Amino acid sequence: MDFFQTVSSRYSVRAYQDKPVEDDKLQRIIEAARLAPSASNRQEWRFVVVRDPEKRKALAKIAHDQQFVGQAPLVIAACAVTDGHVMSCGQECYPIDVAIALEHISLAATALGLGTCWIGAFDEEPARELLAIPPDVRIVQLMPLGYPADKIRPKTRLHSEEILMFDQWRD
């Protein structure tokens, strides 16, 4: 699949087949994240891949009872080992850098016939305890990963004329 097909095929998967993700595919997906850019090449991201079924079920509860999170054969807890560095534009690096790496994961998964879903609705402290993540490490997002059991739905997106401006802001 070419890049633009991958981008248009990616969607938030909320139902997963009971089929394991092959180790070679997981390695390729993590390699895509490893190669992502980061501010000042800080590479603050760390990934806890959760395979254990009981921990995945617990993560589904922690993710506000989104049961599909536990249904996926893998859940990635995307974390940041950070010193809180702020870029000169005023933005903290770690949430942006982890998000870039996660999008690399999401697109790589799509290209390999797998699906993901960004999960920001979760309680960080119970997830931290469950996965034995140290208190100084932030959990930025959870991302279930597996073979989709649902079908891509039509995307509702703004038209390019509504989001694109040249040279200055316009209303």
Helix spans in 11-166 (H)? 23-34, 53-62, 67-71, 93-111, 124-131, 160-163
Q: 153 is in which domain, residue-wise?
A: 3-163
| 19 located within any domain | yes
With a cut of 90, say whether residue 112 has pLDDT above it: yes
| 116 located within any domain | yes
| 20 located within any domain | yes
| 108 located within any domain | yes
Nearest to 30 by CA among 115, 108, 143: 108
| 170 located within any domain | no
> Where residue 152 falls among pLDDT bands split at 50, 70, 90?
confident
The rounded distance, in Å, linking the Cα atoms of 129 and 134 is 8
What's the pLDDT at 151? 87
| 8 located within any domain | yes
| Average pLDDT for the chain | 96
Cβ atoms within 10 Å of 79's Cβ, excluding its own: 23
DSSP 8-state code for residue 86: B
| 171 located within any domain | no
Q: Are 141 and 99 in contact (CB under 8 A)?
A: yes
Q: What's this model's pTM, rounded to 2 decimal places?
A: 0.95
With a cut of 90, say whether residue 94 has pLDDT above it: yes
| 169 located within any domain | no
Total count of domains within the chain: 1
With a cut of 90, say whether residue 36 has pLDDT above it: yes
Among 22-31, 38-47, 109-118, 152-161, which is the least confidently predicted range?
A: 152-161
Alpha-carbon 100 to chain mean position: 9
Write the CATH number for 49.
Answer: 3.40.109.10
Nearest 5°: the CA angle 128, 131, 137 is: 45
- Token pair for 157: 């997106």
